[in-house]
Amino acid sequence: MAKAKIAVNGYGTIGKRVADAVRAQDDMEVIGISKTKPNYEAAVAHQLGYDIYVPAENLGAFEKAGMPAAGTIEEMLEKAELVVDCTPGGVGEKNKPIYEKAGIKAIWQGGESHPIAGFSFNATSNYEEAVGRDLTRVVSCNTTGLCRVITPIDRKLGVNNVRATIIRRAVDPNDIKKGPVNAIVLHPVKIPSHHGPDVQSVLSHINITTAALVVPTTLMHVHTANMEVNTDCTAEDIKKIFSSQSRIRFVGNGITSTAEIIEVARDLGRPRNDMWENCVWPESITVTENMNEIYFFMAIHQESITIPENVDAIRAMMELESDGTKSIEKTNKALGM
């Protein structure tokens, strides 16, 4: 079977990971990535053998830098069947007309809002609804993390409401423009933060309120989560539900911080120290005496958690697999999860 032809527009934190993850699959291929400037990331992409497509006005600059471009971004889109837009939040929306003009399917990231595609995706929650779709938005890192824990509990016990506080990393590790900050910043001051409504863009029936604060770290986010369920349960029941999910990883053996989780990723030899799974502390899973309120801590690796979801979204939209469970298994295996 011919591989699905994928273009990655925007090769930053998310784009470079999406490109490598697509490359690792046997049913899809990267026909090109885009860069706006011939910087160090473009040089590495060139070294990795990616065909680089650039804005027409920058063709000369790439030539001069010794990494000749394969063509313009418009030419890349002509060769693709689906584009994964990984440009900064807000830029993706401006790109919509060029995708429409090229007549190809498109995936956007969580920095864009739900109406851009009219459909927001999380593989655990709504894979089957993405099958054959032309436009999809893969929700952001924190929303992905929340959907992955809410959905299996909701399916088993019925979720009455969710309350979560999200302690957010200030910036990504490579960001020299915005960090570090020396404060705890309410982000935003108002409650709910955008994460609750964003979860509802995937799980419209879930009653959820979120609050978010930014702290001076670059490694990961941490959530304190609380769910009220409709069926009595114990902490062991919740552990069993989470254990059945391949994208939820238990962290124990004395780990009490995001730094140690990243060290685990390093020790496992994960590419770029990526931790694609939600990291839940099993010791923190607590159910109150009335047996319907659940509490736990989890950590989310912002740079990588949405990467397997992008691969699954491609597989669903390109109708390469109609069963979400099978796609999740295939993606995980190819990534080495």
* Span interacting with ligand NAD, options 81-89, 118-126, 240-248, 317-325, rule CB under 6 A: 81-89
What is the spatial distance between Cα 94 and Cα 33, in angstroms, rounded to a whole number? 18
Identify the H or E element spanning 298: strand 293-300
Residue 277 within binding range of ligand NAD, rule CB under 6 A:
no
Please state, in angstroms and rounded to a whole number, the distance separating the CA atoms of residues 255 and 261.
7
Least Å from the CB of residue 287 to ligand NAD? 31
Nearest CA-CA partner of 112 in 89, 144, 138: 89
- In the bound state with ligand NAD, the residue whose beta carbon lies nearer, of 159 and 195, is 195
Region near ligand NAD per CB under 6 A, out of 272-280, 300-308, 315-323, 327-335: 300-308
Residue number, 56 or 184, with CB nearest to ligand NAD = 56
Strand, coil or helix: 307: helix
Q: Closest Cα partner for 140 from 194, 91, 184, 178?
A: 194
Binds ligand NAD by CB under 6 A, chosen from 306, 310, 327, 331:
306
Considering only 113, 201, 278, 302, the residue that binds ligand NAD (CB under 6 A) is 302
Return the structure tokens found at 286: 């607590």
Q: Is 158 left (phi over 0), alpha (psi -120 to 50) or beta?
A: left
Q: Which of 141, 147, 233, 279 is catalytic?
A: 141
Q: Is 89 in the site for ligand NAD (CB under 6 A)?
A: yes
Binder to ligand NAD among 6, 7, 8, 10 (CB under 6 A)?
Answer: 10
Does position 11 interact with ligand NAD (CB under 6 A)? The reply is: yes
**Interacting residue with ligand NAD among 86, 203, 219, 311 (CB under 6 A):** 86
**CA quadruple 301, 337, 245, 320: dihedral sign:** positive
- Options 104-112, 257-265, 271-279, 311-319: segment touching ligand NAD (CB under 6 A): 104-112
Number of Cβ within 10 Å of residue 74's Cβ equals 13
Among 107-115, 129-137, 263-271, 280-288, which window interacts with ligand NAD (CB under 6 A)?
107-115
CB of 236 to ligand NAD, least distance (A): 32
**What six digits make up the tokens of 88?**
């900064």
Q: Name residues contacting ligand NAD, limited to 127-186 (CB under 6 A).
A: 140-141, 172
Does residue number 9 form part of the binding site for ligand NAD (CB under 6 A)? yes
Q: Please give the C-alpha separations between residue 163 and each of 37, 226, 315, in angstroms, as whole numbers.
A: 42, 5, 32
Contact status: 91 vs ligand NAD (CB under 6 A):
yes
Residues 6 or more apart whose Cβ sits within 8 Å of residue 290: none
Residues that bind ligand NAD (rule: CB under 6 A) add up to a total of 24
Q: Which stretch, 11-19, 287-295, 312-320, 328-336, contacts ligand NAD (CB under 6 A)?
A: 11-19
Told to judge if 141 belongs to the known catalytic residues of this protein, a careful annotator would answer yes
Q: Is 36 in the site for ligand NAD (CB under 6 A)?
A: yes
Cα–Cα distances in angstroms (integers) from residue 309 to residues 164, 238, 275, 336, in the given order: 22, 23, 13, 15
Nearer to ligand NAD, 89 or 118 (CB): 89
- Greatest alpha-carbon span in the chain: 69
Cβ–Cβ < 8 Å for 258, 222: yes
CA distance 162 to 283: 20
Using the rule CB under 6 A, is 88 a contact of ligand NAD? yes
Provide the binding-site residues for ligand NAD, judged by CB under 6 A: 9-15, 34, 36, 86-89, 91, 109-112, 140-141, 172, 302-303, 306
Residues labelled as active-site residues: 141
